[in-house]
Homo-oligomer: A and B are copies of this chain.
Amino acid sequence: MSTSTHFDNRGQARMVDVTEKAVTARTAAASSIIEMNLTAAEAIRAGDSRKGDVLAVARLAGIGATKWTPTLIPLCHAIPIEGVELEFHWLTSPDDADRQSLQCLATVRTTYKTGVEMEAMTAASVAALTIYDMLKSVDRAMVIKQIRLESKTGGKSGEFVRGQ
């Protein structure tokens, strides 16, 4: 028997049948962290003063990515997305030496038979990839350090909140 519900008992991939599952309100939040050099960090911070707003582009890319999740993730259901928000937070201050870390938190909502964890994970990933794309000319060595689910609510498996 397979451990993953995405396979049947012969190990064959399938889109899991959710016909009988209840329609409930669901949310999921996922985060990504991207680490960069000071020049890249300054370019992002300068966006607030109208020199090209990297985070505005990354935010739209992350929102858009929730619409492409079932295209990217082969066995994902297409889910009616009812709300998406992306927040960016610096984990380091401009005075920190060397490497700077920026966190993206993506929150997605639906009312459906299955959850939006993958939509939140994909939004956080694509926002980080977009930041990399916008600034790879100033720091090609930039690294996405972490992508993870932070929390979810709704559905039979109930609430998940990541412990520290």
On A, residues with C-beta under 8 Å from B are: 1-8, 11-19, 25, 39-40, 42-43, 46-48, 50-54, 56-57, 59-61, 63-68, 70-78, 80-87, 109-111, 113, 117-118, 121-122, 125-126, 128-130, 132-138, 140-149, 152, 160, 162
Give min CB distance, A49 to chain B, whole Å. 9
- New A-B contacts (5) at CB < 8 Å, excluding given A4-B43, A75-B133: A3-B42, A4-B138, A17-B85, A117-B136, A128-B147
With A and B bound together, what is the CA distance between A147 and B130 in angstroms? 13
Q: Give the shortest distance, in Å, between A101 (CB) and chain B (any CB).
A: 13
B residues in contact with A138, CB < 8 Å: 3-4
Q: Are A67 and B70 in contact (CB under 8 A)?
A: yes
On whether the beta carbons of A126 and B59 are closer than 8 Å, the reply is no
Interface of A (DSSP majority class): mixed
| Pairwise interchain contact B137-A39, C-beta atoms closer than 8 A | no
Complexed CA–CA distance, A2 and B44 (Å): 10
A56 cross-chain contacts in B, Cβ below 8 A: 12-13, 53, 56-57
- The CA-CA distance from A82 to B50 in the complex, in Å, is 25
Instruction: Give complex CA distance A1, B87 in Å.
Output: 18
**Residues on the B chain within 8 Å of A47, using CB:** 11
Closest 3 CB pairs of A and B: A7-B52, A17-B83, A11-B52
Find out whether the CB atom of B83 lies under 8 angstroms from the CB atom of A11. Answer: no
